[in-house]
Structure 1
């Protein structure tokens, strides 16, 4: 199949970044941004900007009938996933491929409960250093989308079709035939980076150099390595070093979305990170003291939000 029509739900950092890029590469009518009517009104009045340039998006509300998309990209926060699943139903047809760029290791299976799991490709967004303040997104490194099939060792026609499309669109990508391990690696990175930068109220530069914050980050990541062995998707120190290399490429002044949420007094995805680590640790009898401390500190910070 050939991918021509694309629908994106979620105008956070990733939605804006990839949406803005695609507007320059494909016909405007073939790219749809799905949002509720109130959001659409605000987006049109206030604008959405990427690196100082106003994004020229075509918006669709969930109620509007439309031709199904060839590719649907989920870029919402985890707490908005269920609403997003409902919102995209007019955009999903028999041939639609679904990519979820959400953090964590569970969104694909949740989406697959509503739509055929075989149409959902596993995906990880990595290497971007986007910072979103209000309706303004800035970034230095676009990063890439890594994706592949649920079954290890398989590269399906759907995966190949997305690869061909991204090649045409100049979207940085990588096809991985072991996406479960890739997702666990990104989960390990998020657990370390997102939470540490949030607690230290800092930026990537703080954890790129030696010191207490970087030591905390790595200790939190090693707790994920211990859990991955119990879950049958074992990560190693080699994987940790791979993700530390990814971290080293990011702009030192950038910061993850979780830290941006805390700064803006928005509730974060902490339950998706250390919350999940603590639950898995309890299930497998694996101590996770660093993540417990990070969890408690972030919950304390959030308790002061009005």
Structure 2
């Protein structure tokens, strides 16, 4: 079964980045951006831009009855996931493949509660340095989507279908047969880089060079590594070095999503990052002082918005 119709919920950095890429290679009505009427009016009035070029998207409302998607991509923030799950129901059919590009280690399980684990592939978006300000997205590195089944060592028909589609669409990808470890690795990086750059009010360059910010980032990541052993993901020093190398390839002037949220005075995903680490630390009796401090400092920044 070939993937022909794709639906995307969420036009943050990743939704715009991959949506724009696919829009250039697909029939316009085969790529559907799901949004409510007010958002659609705003998108159509102001347009959405990717590296200075207008994106030509086909928008549909949640109420619009349509043919189910062959591929449904969640690209919302974590705090918007529950609402997104409800509004995509017309896009989920018997053979729909669901891909979540959300940060963290729990979105797939949450989505599968609504639509079944048989439809969900585990995935990680990594290596992109996209920055979104208002309706303008800019990036130097597109990165890639890593995906696979939750079960280690298993390459399913869903994985093969998505592989063929990404190859045809020229979407950079990697099939990983140990996605739990991959997700924990990306989570480890997010916990370190997103929060540290946010509290230092800086950019990737701040943590790419030696100094207190990089030390804090690595210490926060080390706390995740300690917890991964307790949770069965078993990250090692080798994983830490791999993700530091990934971060080292990003544009020094780029910024992670949390830093962009703080600059725009939006609520961040600190509870998804440091909050999760602190809760797991309490569960397993593992000290997490760096993430406790990052949590405190991000909350302090957010408290100053008003």
Q: Report the TM-score range of the alignment, normalised by the length of the smaller protein.
A: over 0.9
> What does 1:97-108 correspond to in 2, within 5 Å?
97-108=97-108
Question: Which residue in 2 is equivalent to 1:263?
Answer: 263
Quote the Cα distance in structure 2 between the aligned partners of 1:304 and 1:284.
33
The TM-score, its normalising length taken from structure 2, stands at 1.00
3-state SS in 2 of match to 1:69: coil
Q: Report deviation, 1:304.
A: 1.0
Question: Which residue in 2 is equivalent to 1:254?
Answer: 254
Q: Report deviation, 1:180.
A: 0.3
Q: Report deviation, 1:222.
A: 0.2
Quote the Cα distance in structure 1 between the aligned partners of 2:116 and 2:143.
28
Quote the Cα distance in structure 2 between the aligned partners of 1:214 and 1:118.
40
Q: Report deviation, 1:29.
A: 1.1
Question: Which residue in 2 is equivalent to 1:180?
Answer: 180
Quote the Cα distance in structure 2 between the aligned partners of 1:40 and 1:18.
18
> What does 1:201-220 correspond to in 2, within 5 Å?
201-220=201-220
Q: Report deviation, 1:233.
A: 1.1
Instruction: Answer yes or no: is 1:147 the counterpart of 2:147.
Output: yes
Q: Report deviation, 1:118.
A: 1.3
1:202-260: per-residue Cα shift (whole Å, max 9, x none)?
00001001111000000000000100011111100000000001001100000001100
Q: Report deviation, 1:26.
A: 1.1
Q: Tell me the C-alpha RMSD between the 2 structures.
A: 0.4
> What does 1:204-243 correspond to in 2, within 5 Å?
204-243=204-243
Question: Which residue in 2 is equivalent to 1:197?
Answer: 197
Q: Report deviation, 1:60.
A: 0.5
Quote the Cα distance in structure 2 between the aligned partners of 1:3 and 1:98.
12
Question: Which residue in 1 is equivalent to 2:278?
Answer: 278
Quote the Cα distance in structure 2 between the aligned partners of 1:221 and 1:53.
36
Question: Which residue in 1 is equivalent to 2:287?
Answer: 287
The TM-score, its normalising length taken from structure 1, stands at 1.00
Quote the Cα distance in structure 2 between the aligned partners of 1:224 and 1:151.
22
Instruction: Answer yes or no: is 1:135 the counterpart of 2:135.
Output: yes
Q: Report deviation, 1:175.
A: 0.4
Question: Which residue in 1 is equivalent to 2:300?
Answer: 300
Q: Report deviation, 1:59.
A: 0.3
3-state SS in 1 of match to 2:93: strand
Question: Which residue in 1 is equivalent to 2:35?
Answer: 35
Quote the Cα distance in structure 1 between the aligned partners of 2:19 and 2:201.
29
Quote the Cα distance in structure 2 between the aligned partners of 1:267 and 1:30.
33
Question: Which residue in 2 is equivalent to 1:91?
Answer: 91
Q: Report deviation, 1:19.
A: 0.4
1:107-135: per-residue Cα shift (whole Å, max 9, x none)?
00000000011110000000000000000
Question: Which residue in 2 is equivalent to 1:71?
Answer: 71
1:96-117: per-residue Cα shift (whole Å, max 9, x none)?
0000000000000000000011
3-state SS in 2 of match to 1:95: coil
Q: Across the two proteins, how many residue pairs are aligned to each other?
A: 306
3-state SS in 1 of match to 2:114: coil
3-state SS in 2 of match to 1:162: helix
Instruction: Answer yes or no: is 1:126 the counterpart of 2:126.
Output: yes
Where does structure 1 lack aligned partners over 5 or more consecutive residues?
Answer: none
Quote the Cα distance in structure 2 between the aligned partners of 1:64 and 1:29.
13
3-state SS in 2 of match to 1:114: helix
